């Protein structure tokens, strides 16, 4: 298997996975969605809430705020040496005290750790009127999306099969497929049609071009054929800001490798026992 990054920055990673089966591509997708750890608020103590929202609704909204996470500094609570009591290695405490009138936002959460804060300070939590008040303590822990969506580091994570476009000698360059293509993939060049430079990966495999070609009366078989390469996949991974997009990819791969190693070890133990 090989990964080649096309675009990568903190918010989005686009890459090609080649030499892989569909099952492997899907395993990577699922690992990036469900098995990459990130911080999210889990425990909320509400000391005062005279806003229009119930405590439970507020706690839910606070839990969904993405939090900037440095994975090198935190461990999961169940794996921490504090044995689940809570310490700076496995938790971050936030406090919030706001009096109305005004809108309470994620930026009102004050973190005990200056490097661990909400990704966006403008996420609205609740609107307070005159004399309404909110006093909250919230504790964030590390966990994964398979436990709850609030620990999911990706807001979009998916792939498509790599498009393969073939044009036969039957093509007369009439241009009907070019007009039909919704993504401007094709162009007429001389007496034939071809893929516009750099546009192949944008093809959605919709096959409207094939239908347009048949519609020209060319016969039973289109002069353009759209296929999918079953061993190459185009991935798009968008981060919610808690982790850089490339780190989400790396952590997803690390998880698959770890689970594969564990499986191999278990199989070796079973085969040793059977001898």
Of 62, 117, 186, 234, which lies in the binding site for ligand SF4, with binding defined by CB under 6 A? 186
Q: Is 185 in the site for ligand SF4 (CB under 6 A)?
A: yes
Whether 129 contacts 100, CB under 8 Å: yes
Residue 153 near which of ligand SF4, Zn ion, none (CB within 5-8 Å, type-dependent): none
Q: Is 161 in the site for ligand SF4 (CB under 6 A)?
A: no
Q: How many residues bind ligand SF4 (CB under 6 A)?
A: 28
3 state SS for the chain: CEEEEEEECCCEEEEEEECCCHHHHHHHHHHHHHCCCEEEEEEEEEEEECCCCCHHHHHHHHHCCCECCCCCCCCCHHHCCCCCCCCCCCEEEEEEEEECCEEEEHHHCEECCCCCCECCCCCEEEEECCCCEEEEEEEEEEECCCCCHHHCCEEEEEEEEEEEEEECCCCCCCCHHHHHCCCCCEEEECCEEEECCCCHHHCCCCCHHHHHHHHCCCCCCCCEEEEEEEEEEEEEEEECCCCCHHHHHHHHHHHHHHHHHHHHHHHHHHHHHCC
Min separation Cβ 17 and ligand SF4, Å: 20
Name which of 117 and 193 has its Cβ closer to ligand SF4.
Answer: 193
Residue 177 near which of ligand SF4, Zn ion, none (CB within 5-8 Å, type-dependent): ligand SF4
Of 41, 136, 193, 234, which lies in the binding site for ligand SF4, with binding defined by CB under 6 A? 193
Of 1, 52, 79, 82, which lies in the binding site for Zn ion, with binding defined by CB under 5 A? 82
Binding mask 216-245 for ligand SF4 (x = CB under 6 A): x-x----xx-x-------------------
| CA 227 centroid distance within chain | 26
Min separation Cβ 173 and ligand SF4, Å: 5
Stretch that binds Zn ion, among 11-19, 38-46, 82-90, 141-149 (CB under 5 A): 82-90
Min separation Cβ 92 and Zn ion, Å: 11
Q: Token pair for residue 7? A: 């675009």
Q: Is 17 in the site for ligand SF4 (CB under 6 A)?
A: no
Of 183, 189, 258, 259, which lies in the binding site for ligand SF4, with binding defined by CB under 6 A? 183
Residues near Zn ion (CB under 5 A) are: 80, 82, 87, 89-90
Residues near ligand SF4 (CB under 6 A) are: 167, 171-177, 180-181, 183, 185-186, 193, 203-209, 212-213, 216, 218, 223-224, 226
């Amino acid at each position: 298997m090989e990964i080649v990054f096309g675009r990568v920055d903190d918010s989005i990673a686009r890459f090609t996975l080649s030499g892989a089966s569909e099952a492997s591509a899907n395993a990577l997708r699922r690992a990036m969605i469900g098995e990459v750890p990130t911080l999210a608020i889990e425990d909320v103590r509400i000391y005062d809430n005279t806003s229009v929202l119930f405590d439970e609704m507020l706690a839910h909204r606070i839990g969904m705020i993405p939090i900037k996470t440095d994975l090198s500094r935190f461990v999961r609570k169940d794996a921490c040496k504090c044995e689940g009591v809570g310490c700076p290695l496995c938790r971050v405490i936030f406090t919030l005290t706001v009096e109305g009138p005004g809108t309470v936002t994620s930026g009102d959460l004050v973190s005990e750790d200056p490097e661990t804060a909400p990704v966006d300070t403008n996420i609205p939590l609740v609107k307070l009127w005159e004399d309404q008040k909110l006093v909250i303590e919230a504790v964030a822990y590390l966990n994964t999306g398979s436990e709850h969506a609030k620990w999911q580091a990706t807001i979009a994570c998916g792939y498509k099969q790599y498009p393969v476009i073939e044009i036969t000698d039957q093509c007369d360059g009439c241009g009907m497929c070019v007009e039909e293509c919704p993504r401007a993939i094709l162009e007429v060049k001389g007496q034939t049609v071809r893929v516009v430079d750099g546009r192949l990966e944008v093809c959605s495999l919709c096959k409207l071009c094939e239908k347009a070609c048949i519609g020209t009366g060319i016969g039973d078989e289109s002069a353009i054929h759209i296929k999918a390469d079953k061993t190459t996949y185009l991935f798009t991974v968008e981060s919610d800001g808690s982790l850089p997009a490339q780190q989400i990819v790396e952590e997803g791969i690390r998880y698959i490798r770890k689970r594969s190693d564990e499986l191999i070890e278990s199989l070796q133990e079973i085969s040793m026992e059977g001898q």
